[in-house]
């Protein structure tokens, strides 16, 4: 499927006219003002790759928090079938989806990622307060 087709269909399922792409076939959507999901379509892999920033970690927090979050990768049910990665000082929750899932299924999985991001932000705050 072409990138424009996948993202246009996803946009319609989300109630949007379309999703604007940059030159690298990427776009970003903001949900509720607090979660931004970066999306990139990889036509060769037939995948839609999603990433959302969970939090920025201070140098003091980085080691223990990253280790705790990376251990969560061992149970994908706990992360909503996503996985944690690092992007600089940021902890990012990532997900890859087959681009032929259909627009509503893609929209549902996007919503699951947004929910997982919010839940893990709360868990991370709790982890920090318990570790302090």
pLDDT at 106: 92
What mean pLDDT comes out for the span 43-69?
A: 89
Residue 11's pLDDT band (boundaries 50, 70, 90)?
Answer: confident
Distance CA 21, CA 40 (A): 9
pLDDT tens digit string along 68-125?
Answer: 888 889 988 888 899 999 898 899 999 999 989 999 999 999 999 999 999 999 999 9
* pTM of the entire predicted model: 0.88
Based on the number of CB atoms within 10 Å of its own CB, is 69 exposed (0-12), middle (13-18) or buried (19 or more)?
Answer: buried
Give residue 103's domain range: 3-131
In the chain, how many domains are there?
A: 1
CATH code of 55's domain: 3.30.1460.10
């Amino acid at each position: 499927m072409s990138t424009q087709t996948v993202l246009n269909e996803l946009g319609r399922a989300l109630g949007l006219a379309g999703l604007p792409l940059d030159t690298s076939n990427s776009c970003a959507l903001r949900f509720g003002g607090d979660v931004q999901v970066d999306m990139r379509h990889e036509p060769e892999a037939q995948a839609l790759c999603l990433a959302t920033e969970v939090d920025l970690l201070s140098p003091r927090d980085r080691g223990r928090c990253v280790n705790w979050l990376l251990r969560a990768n061992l149970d994908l049910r706990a992360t909503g079938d996503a996985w944690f990665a690092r992007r600089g000082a940021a902890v990012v929750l990532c997900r890859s989806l087959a681009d032929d899932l259909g627009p509503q299924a893609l929209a549902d999985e996007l919503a699951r990622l947004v929910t997982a991001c919010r839940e893990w932000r709360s868990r991370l705050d709790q982890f920090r307060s318990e570790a302090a």
